[in-house]
Structure 1
């Protein structure tokens, strides 16, 4: 026992104490307060009541209205993630193959949206999506459509705008993985007679997958919890969970129901993130034993 105490080094615990306190104050304490609030009752006449029950959760699970909003949120987040993977992963590969100074220039262009406010970017998409916006004017001028396509207040409009907002996170994640990729492995594949497609499928893609999984977790979580973009592009009718929580807090003043919705969204994001992580771990075990 004495020897174990002598080997105990308190320095790592002391150094990690500020981080632990910050995590507890700014994350765990608000989550605990939100959880307690979600269990309380609400009345239009008396406001929030100190009566603890599961009525808010029962209301959410029993009402198809809330189920539809959760499904819409999951659908938008899933399609946004898929679009970011299809665009961001190849773009990251192309950027890594560029030489200076073109890599720096195009990387700045790809990551440029991060330098602009989300609201400003979304308002820009609202101008592009209008019936007399640049996109519809170009489609009509090219003869692709005869009348303006409705982008505003639609799910695919929200997906396109969210993909633009979140694409840099996918690019950064994939590029971080590609930096550890040995280019000699790809050259060895070609020297052994493998085609470009086989080299990509058997050599490049398995090493890019960790970045794709990490980027997918980030994009899905941010898309599912996004507020400004769905609020502006989707409008009042196309609600997602984040905008519904906003309405419950500020318009209906039903804070307990809003807290329950927020906690359920948080739980879904955690489950999806853990699922992605388990899927990645299982694949790596199959690949590397």
Structure 2
């Protein structure tokens, strides 16, 4: 066979099939199995459990029903608890954004060693257990706590703070504030300070420079922080349980009561799945809204 025919034959057969590289699969495999085993599988089992029939005399039956979801959506008690959970989570996120964004901006303008000192102060609450922090706030906000003692010393009388929504929001803001400051501060680290200086040089006021130059750049950082704070606040358990008492229920404490006190696991699973779906819907909608605005602003 001539060289020309051999070349034509090799071109007709095409290049040899590339061998699949197993390295990416080997690297991703352990993490994927870990995620499937600890996240996806429990969620699937919880969804299945939420459709099981529960009898107070015999327990969980191997029968399927929609009664738990119907009971949740038709009972004002559950709907009121869901509304309180979302409302307090939104209020906590808003306060963290109002406090955290300026705090991150000031932190980004600091120089060492003060930057390191204040960064340690910001992330310091994360080094303490949330239960310890909740007990600390219960002692501060109690009827004989430091806050009421100070108000009495000023002649303002005693204010009921413990076992109120105000106490829950205060403690949640204290716990969640680092999760807002760190993403915004990270976004500010990528911003060239000369851009803001150029805006000031061209005649813009400090407020205009912050609004037109700095804020669009850190919007994605605020988005990340807001999603983290909202998700953690809506699913918080220790703080609402210790500072809200038995009267002010939130979604996590409601699920705990159904599982541990009422032993109605299917109803508790249904409540947990509804809260998860509501959180995902709100967070995805907020994500799309902020990203669309950032695209319009940044081009």
For Structure 1 versus Structure 2, the TM-score category normalised by the shorter chain is over 0.9
1:48 partner SS: strand
What is the distance in 2 between the residues matched to 1:2 and 1:15? 31
Match of 1:246 among 246, 250, 256: 256
**Cα distance in 2 between the residues matched to 1:200 and 1:15:** 43
Could you tell me which residue of structure 2 aligns to residue 78 of structure 1? 90
The residue matched to 2:295 in structure 1 has which SS?
Answer: helix
Q: In angstroms, what is the RMSD of aligned CA positions?
A: 1.5
Distance of aligned partners of 1:36 and 1:195 in 2 relative to their CA distance in 1, 3 Å threshold: same
State the 4+ residue runs in structure 1 displaced beyond 4 angstroms: 1-5
Shift of the 124–4 alpha-carbon distance from structure 1 to 2, 3 Å rule, reads farther
- Indicate how the Cα distance of structure 1 residues 5 and 14 shifts in structure 2: closer, same or farther if over 3 A, else same: farther
Please, what TM-score do these two structures have when normalized by structure 1? Answer: 0.96
Inter-CA distance 7–107: structure 2 relative to 1 (3 Å threshold): same
Equivalent in the alignment of 2:238: 228
In the TM superposition, residue 152 of structure 1 has moved relative to its aligned partner by 0.8
Once residues 6 and 169 of structure 1 are traced to their aligned partners in structure 2, the CA distance between those partners, rounded to angstroms, is 45
**Is contact 2:240-2:250 (8 Å) kept?**
yes
Q: Is it true that 1:215 corresponds to 2:204 in the alignment? A: no
* Alignment CA distance shift 1:2-1:125 (3 Å): farther
Q: Distance in 1 between matches of 2:284 and 2:276?
A: 12
Q: Using structure 2 for the length normalisation, give the TM-score.
A: 0.93
Q: Residue 131 of structure 1 aligns to a residue in which SS?
A: coil
Residue correspondence of structure 1 range 45-194 to structure 2 within 5 A: 45-143=57-155, 145=156, 147-194=157-204
The aligned length equals 287
What SS does the corresponding residue of 1:193 show, helix, strand or coil? coil
| Corresponding residue SS for 1:42 | strand
The one of 32, 37, 53 aligned to 1:41: 53
Equivalent position of 1:205 in the other structure? 215
Tell me if structure 1 keeps the 8 A contact 2:148–2:158.
yes
Larger CA Rg, structure 1 vs 2: 2
> Would you say the 8 A contact 2:220–2:291 is kept in 1?
no
Q: Does the 8 A contact of 2:219 with 2:294 survive in 1?
A: no
Structure 2: runs of 5+ lacking an equivalent: 1-12
Distance 1:11 1:98, change over 3 A: same
Note closer, same or farther for the CA distance 1:2–1:46 as it changes in structure 2 (3 Å cut).
farther
CA 1:232 to 1:3, structure 2 compared with 1: closer, same or farther past 3 Å?
Answer: farther
